[in-house]
Amino acid sequence: MKLNNIKLVIIAMLVSFTAFNCSNDDDNGSNDPMQQTPPDFSGTFTQEDQMGRPAINTVFVDMADKNIYNVTLPSNQGAAFQTKFQNKLEALNPAHTDPMYTNALGFNAEQFTGALATDVLTVSLVGTTTFFDGTNILTGRALDDDVISTELLLIFGGPAGADNPGLTNDNVSANDKSFSATFPYLASPW
């Protein structure tokens, strides 16, 4: 452990010396001591995770596909995953195997999973922004939106939201801290 710590310190020192040596000379005219070496923003960055709507990967993607889903571009997700999402939805709520059966949005299994498989969050620029507030649906995601109960209702609730009543609400309806009306909106950490 101690040896590793020493190694880390040496590496850190080497890195800082190297960074110092890399300071560019383009601004020779400036003798401002406040002018510091700009951070290094070079290089190629390769995708590891992505997210649009809440809980889509968690609920609809099989364990074997979870990594690949995170590196499938949204514009390619529908073609790659709609059928798998439909199978998952029909397993969760077998009533959805009937193409005449719809959820509260009026979508049958194919239509609903077709909308969900492209995992982007639509955010309104002209009106209320909410996942669901009783009136507006999928116009954004606010901090206090009960997104899970909305998704449960759309998965299990059927056309009137009355099916499978034990599964359409997780009965946790609010966060454990209040949000702020002003930036940065999120609550201070515990």
Choices 6-14, 22-30, 100-108, 180-188 (CB under 8 A): range interacting with other proteins: 180-188
**Burial tier of 39 (Cβ tally within 10 Å: 0-12, 13-18, 19+):** exposed
Site string for other proteins, 46-65 (x = CB under 8 A): xxxxxxx-xxxxxx---x--
Cα gap 94→62, rounded to integer Å: 17
CB of 8 to other proteins, least distance (A): 14
Cα gap 49→53, rounded to integer Å: 13
Q: Which DSSP helix (H) or strand (E) runs through 3? A: helix 2-21
Tokens of 5: 């710590």
By C-beta, is 92 or 95 nearer to other proteins? 92
Count of residues engaged in binding other proteins, rule: CB under 8 A: 76
Q: Is 35 in the site for other proteins (CB under 8 A)?
A: no
Q: Is 174 in the site for other proteins (CB under 8 A)?
A: yes
Q: In angstroms, what CA-CA distances link 32 with 21, 29, 77?
A: 18, 9, 51
Q: Is 95 in the site for other proteins (CB under 8 A)?
A: no
By C-beta, is 30 or 182 nearer to other proteins? 182
Q: Kindly identify the residues of this chain, within the stretch 130-169, that bind other proteins according to CB under 8 A.
A: 130, 139-144, 146-148, 166-167, 169
Q: Give me the residues paired with residue 132 across strands.
A: 137
Q: Is 121 in the site for other proteins (CB under 8 A)?
A: yes
Chosen residue from 10, 128, 137, 162 binding other proteins by CB under 8 A: 128
Q: Is 126 in the site for other proteins (CB under 8 A)?
A: yes
Q: In angstroms, what CA-CA distances link 129 with 45, 53, 124, 142, 145?
A: 31, 14, 6, 7, 10
Cα gap 130→142, rounded to integer Å: 5
CB of 100 to other proteins, least distance (A): 25
